[in-house]
Amino acid sequence: MTSQSKPAVAWHAVCRFCGRAPLVLALVLLFLPPTFAAPMRIAVVLSVEGASYREFASALGAQLDPALFSLSVGTDAVAPDNADLYVAVGTKATAALANTTRPVLSVLTPRSAVDALNVPSSFAAIYIDQPVSRRLALIAAVLPQARSVGVLYSSSLPAELPMLQRAAAAAGLTLNSQEVVRRSDISPDLAEVLSKSDVFLVLADTEIYRPDTLRNILLQTYRQRVPMIGLSSQYVRAGALCAVYTSPRQIAQQAARAIRRYSASGHLPASRHPEDFEVAVNTQVARSLGLNIQDAEQLRAFIGRQK
């Protein structure tokens, strides 16, 4: 038997390699470092050019590895159509992207606004609202003697009201809820609910709490000496006694975790309330109402222990 010529041996080696090429290529791709993969395209879509929205977008960018995620930031009017995942910031952007076929993560939007939309299964939200239990824990901490809580709501009954009723009853509180009949003059309805309440709790209802009504609401609660629990640090600076809230930076941290989970599994976490939170206290209002309450950090620690 004669040995094969060198060209023939080389030719057979090439043929054997070509037959195995798909397997070899797959193995090479499997062990390539992640930096060789194209970054996931994240389109952050802002409802408006607001400071809190920009703070969120900047904090989100700082949380995500640019080698793995490519972020673009714009308004809903110029949202790119080639993103792998949209992050809708605020109510307007959330509504604009509610029916897209791509996955959407909504942030800084009230739960009531999300619930009003018909969204696909690829949609998820991190609500701006605090869980009811957290807000009632704040009331228990600052006003342990309170036995009744007053709330106003517009003609569209908020989804959180039944949950609030159940949670208040479990905490031994009476919930006094009053529908606002005339949005142009909410004073009679506010006076009615304040007259029978130890504390007034603001709900995320933009039909009631507007820039043109908030000052009068604060003044009326102050005159009737009923402490007001706001929704944010802005409410507290304006004259509410206190508020539990989540900052745009904290929302961005939670959103980054959701995005990394989506990148790894192809699924966004289910819609949920913010995980982290802060407390703000208006000490001047507390003194004016004759209240001696703990500072913000002590209140935050107390609420955290109620989980």
For 114, phi then psi, to 5°, come to -70, -45
Domains annotated on the chain, with CATH: 37-128+248-265 (3.40.50.2300), 132-245+277-304 (3.40.50.2300)
* pLDDT recorded at residue 3: 47
| Weakly modelled stretches of the chain, pLDDT under 70 | 1-37, 76-79, 156-157, 307
Q: How many CB atoms lie within 10 A of CB 247?
A: 18
**Cα–Cα dist 244/135, whole Å:** 7
Enter the pTM of the model.
Answer: 0.83
- The 278-281 sheet, strands edge to edge: 174-179, 148-153, 199-201, 228-229, 242-245, 278-281
* pLDDT recorded at residue 116: 87
The model's pLDDT over 6-15, given as tens digits with 9 standing for 90+, comes to: 444 444 443 4
The model's pLDDT over 171-197, given as tens digits with 9 standing for 90+, comes to: 999 999 999 988 788 999 999 999 999
What three-state secondary structure class fits 31? coil
Nearest to 200 by CA among 150, 250, 252, 257: 150
Q: Among the residues of the chain, which ranges form H helices?
A: 6-30, 51-63, 91-97, 111-115, 132-142, 160-170, 187-194, 214-223, 233-238, 248-265, 283-288, 296-304
The model's pLDDT over 44-94, given as tens digits with 9 standing for 90+, comes to: 999 998 899 999 999 999 999 999 999 999 986 666 778 999 999 999 999
**Cα–Cα dist 42/66, whole Å:** 11
